[in-house]
Amino acid sequence: MEEHIHLLISLGSGQTISKVAQLIKGESSHWVNLQGIISEKFEWQDDFIALSVSKRFIPVVRRYIANQEEHHRVKSFSEEYAEFLSGHGFKPEDFG
Spell out where 1-96 has E strands: none
Half-sphere exposure in the Cβ direction for 2 (13 Å, CA): 5
Q: Tell me the per-residue pLDDT of 25-82, one tens digit each, with 9 for 90 and over.
A: 999 999 999 999 999 999 998 888 888 999 999 999 999 899 888 877 888 878 888 8
Q: Tell me the per-residue pLDDT of 45-54, one tens digit each, with 9 for 90 and over.
A: 888 888 899 9
Domain positions in the chain: 14-50, 53-96
Contact 1, 68 (CB under 8 A): yes
Whether pTM > 0.85 for this model: the answer is no
3-state secondary structure of 68: helix
CA distance 96 to 92: 8
Residues contacting 48, CB < 8 A, separation 6+: 21, 25
36 secondary structure, DSSP code: T
